[in-house]
Structure 1
Amino acid sequence: MIVIDKKTQTNISYMNIHDWQIRQVICNYDDYKVIIPISKIVSKNQQLEAKLIFEEVIYNEISYYELWGSGNYISHCDMDDNSELINKLEKYKDDEQFWCSRLANYTSISDEFFSFNITLNSGDTIKILARKVIWDMDKSI
């Protein structure tokens, strides 16, 4: 298991998820979690399975355009500060007109949250703004 948060972003280098397949994205609205089960066939008789578990999610966005044709394999993933969205949320946090109880729980969104970005071989993207992501590797099947 690999845990990544704002302070351990370099751990993303241990997550080699290129060419892993995504078939579903599970949004648990009550627990503020997004779970993405992924799999990779490594040989005729062996398939690896894992989950990307995003905790304390405050934003997610998924496109279904298939700009490059159909496909649900991970082509690229990275992390960034998504400063434009975080600045907007920081403003909402302190504005009585847009007040949000969840955002009020955090001292500084920019110090605690990051954007995890996945691009599929279709060109579609998954963007999740969360406090933590866990790479949970299951046993081989």
Structure 2
Amino acid sequence: MTPVIRRNQQDRRAERQAARDAERQSELLEGSYRPPPRDKCVEKEHEKILDDEDTIRLQTRFWRKDGNTTEFVLVIRQREWDSWRNGPRIDCCHGMCHVHLDDDAPPSKSLMTLDTVRDVEEAMAAAIDEITWIADALHAQGEGGFNG
């Protein structure tokens, strides 16, 4: 019994260490930019059909203040029978622009560190390129869904 308990303790210790390492890495990527409160911004939203069958859409939400984009979220939505499911998402928060491979998943890839409001515009351009690539890959998968 002792080796099994020790192995379980080692596994839990390794998991805690991996979580601490991931948190430290995330802190290194965080920029200093923090958006103004959303209630002080103008919110805009639109959805674009990405395929001929209308099975994949890109939902774009962004907030603007004083002529600048202050924050954004890009979400790929895929039809599932008679409803839509959110899939991969790119957003900017905690001073960075990053990809979530699934809407509820933690960030999987950092696109850019954000230190100024001008960085948000640059990050949005990079995010649109990235989300378009992801959408093309999903469309190529056909019925495979978001996770293949």
Bucket of the pairwise TM-score, normalised by the shorter protein? under 0.3
Q: Which fold has the larger relative contact order, with Cα–Cα distance below 8 Å and residues 6 or more apart in sequence?
A: 1
Structure 2 length-normalised TM? 0.27
Q: Considering fraction of residues, name the structure with more strand.
A: 1
Larger Rg: 2
TM-score (norm 1): 0.28
